[in-house]
Amino acid sequence: MMRVFFALLSCAAALVVPVLGLATQPDPVTSDSLSDVHLNVVPRTDDERGRVAKITALPTEFDTAWPFEENAGGAQTVRARNTADAFSQPAANLNFAQELDFKVGNGMFRRIWVSAPASTLASDGLGPLFNARSCQRCHLKDGRGHPPEGPDDTAVSMFLRVSIPAPEPVDIQRYIAGTHATAPDPTYGTQLQDFSLPGQAPEYRLQIDYDEVEVPLSGGETATLRRPTYTAADLGYGPLHPGAMLSPRIAPQMIGMGLLEAIPAEEILARVDPDDADGDGISGKPQIVWSDAHDAPMLGRFGHKAGNPTVLEQTASAFAGDIGISNPLHTAGSGECTDLQTDCTAALHGGDPEQGGFEIDQVGLDLVSFYSRTLAVPARRDVDAPQVLHGRQVFFDSGCAACHQPNHVTHRLEGEDPASFQLIWPYTDMLLHDMGPGLADNRPEGRADGQEWRTAPLWGIGLTKTVSGHTQFLHDGRARSLLEAVLWHGGEAQAARDIVVAMPPEDRVALIRFLESL
């Protein structure tokens, strides 16, 4: 019988809404209580803590490559491929049985779901409302999505999240201090789906209008940014709630997720500085969410605002919201349909008694999660090239590394877990930061307000064109280049952004060259 590897998941302008005075109370969740309950952790010894501190201390010399930085994903790193499959490789340290699970999970990740009832019982249950028919349709080649490229292009790898302000927490028993009280739109739920099965109306059509913004740079150079306006057009079920808050999201790249999941929570929380006590202008805070899988508060790690704590829960929510596939964590056979969408909720679904009544069961969910956790990070390129070395120093001197923390060491984990005790270079602190009004979606999510976003990992970013065929970045793909992405930074990153604007042009070129090497 095929062995299902499941070691990492051992248990299977900003809108701020004050809630009953709770949002201003001290956060009761600490590194002691916010345990990594989803991991089979072997506690670090004092000797290991000293080794970790030594190896993650950043060098002060920039004229040579640093030890191990070429291996961005530690022992999981694979050679960088100059093809669209660069993000689709299994981690280099998988054993034979794990490689088999990876391949089966990959098949399920690519599976095209069909409507119920169908002769292919293992693949029916699509929708009735959905954003894509497979995981692969959004995360093509395991890379990042993009906005529609014109009025005739679909938004298959992009959608709008939606919520409304709430007078109090929806679930007071699971309320976490600092969480903004919101609720799903009563008609459209928590995200808008632009596809539907025959006989059902899609919820909307995504419309994006851009205004051009010119930014003067030093040396007589200029850059042009595009400022988007989003409209939920052609609504299929009547108007949105008057207080509806919309947030655009493109599908992120998939690499290294299991390594990010294995970074110790205490190390992430050690960098929390919500009041900027050290005066560096950076005040990252943790996203803390309730885990349905573990029935406990956990550190949010995945999603543009870190709304999910584990790869399993990120996977389960994507199946339900994006494809309309029920699973042990999201049990509704009608996916994201709301009670007001009566034809949708009454439609046949593909729940199979042999799968516990779900459209994908726990075994399938575990396999897709394992695949997602073990997609390899490609090796860095040109780490010792003079321009790359100079660009790395510009990156640090400009203050970018204050949020894009270069390296971490993952937990030591029991068994043959491929994420165990790896020195990795994702360039993220995994915290929420205020990115200013320019990038604001004005929609709070959990403890993140309408201007706060999780620091995006930068590993693999230089291979975006190779894998995805475009260079569109940020949470909504508005930036058409890495330089545009930098220039959109505001809030806590405003000072670093202004340094980039004012620096000599050759330093900007070197900075981008460094980012392209990641």
Residue 448 near residue 477, CB atoms below 8 Å:
no
- Tokens 């290294």: give the residue: 256
Per-residue pLDDT of 178-201, as tens digits, reads 999 999 999 999 999 999 999 999
Measured N-to-C along each axis, helices 96-110 and 362-373 cross at an angle, to the nearest 10 degrees, of: 110
Per-residue pLDDT of 454-511, as tens digits, reads 999 999 999 999 999 999 999 999 999 999 999 999 999 999 999 999 999 999 999 9
Long-range contacts (CB closer than 8 Å, 24 or more residues apart) made by 477-484 = 477/144, 477/145, 477/146, 477/147, 477/158, 477/250, 478/147, 478/210, 478/225, 478/226, 478/227, 478/228, 479/225, 480/226, 481/512, 482/512, 482/515, 482/516, 483/223, 483/508, 483/512, 484/223, 484/225
Question: In the predicted model, is pLDDT for residue 13 greater than 70?
Answer: no
Per-residue pLDDT of 226-235, as tens digits, reads 999 999 999 9
User: End-to-end distance of the chain based on CA atoms, in angstroms?
Assistant: 40
Residue 250 CA to its chain's centroid (Å): 10
Average pLDDT over residues 23-29: 43
**Structure confidence at residue 175 as a pLDDT band (50, 70, 90):** confident
- Tokens 């609504």: give the residue: 235
Average pLDDT over residues 251-260: 98
Greater model confidence, 122 or 113: 113
Please count the residues of the chain: 518
What does the alpha-carbon distance between residue 510 and residue 388 come to, in Å, rounded to a whole number?
6
Average pLDDT over residues 126-146: 96
Tokens of 184: 């799903």
Q: Does the N-terminal peptide bond of residue 505 adopt cis geometry, omega within 30 degrees of 0?
A: no
Tokens of 89: 């490789």
Query: CB under 8 Å to 362, separation ≥6 — which residues?
Result: 12, 327, 328, 356
pLDDT (0 to 100) of residue 5: 30
pLDDT (0 to 100) of residue 501: 98
Tokens of 509: 């070129």
- Tokens 């990795």: give the residue: 424
Please report, rounded to a whole number, the percentage of residues in the chain having pLDDT higher than 90.
82
Per-residue pLDDT of 372-399, as tens digits, reads 999 999 999 999 999 999 999 999 999 9
Residue 373 near residue 419, CB atoms below 8 Å:
yes
Give the lowest-confidence range in 29-43, 164-178, 350-364: 29-43
CA dihedral 98, 100, 102, 105 (to 10 degrees): -130
What does the alpha-carbon distance between residue 309 and residue 261 come to, in Å, rounded to a whole number?
8
CA angle 103/106/108 to nearest 5° reads 115
Domain spans of the chain?
22-517
What SS3 string covers 260-286?
HHCCCHHHHHCCCCCCCCCCCCCCCEC
Measured N-to-C along each axis, helices 505-517 and 386-397 cross at an angle, to the nearest 10 degrees, of: 100
pTM of the model: 0.92
Residue 285 CA to its chain's centroid (Å): 16
Strands 412-413 and 195-196, sheet pairing: unpaired
Average pLDDT over residues 72-100: 98
**Can you state the percent helix, strand and coil of the chain, rounding each to 5?**
30, 15, 55
Question: In the predicted model, is pLDDT for residue 518 greater than 90?
Answer: yes
Long-range contacts (CB closer than 8 Å, 24 or more residues apart) made by 56-63 = 56/407, 56/408, 56/409, 56/423, 58/396, 58/401, 58/406, 58/407, 62/389, 62/390, 62/392, 62/393, 62/396, 63/389
**Structure confidence at residue 407 as a pLDDT band (50, 70, 90):** very high
Residue 311 near residue 299, CB atoms below 8 Å:
no
Beta bridge partners of 433: 453
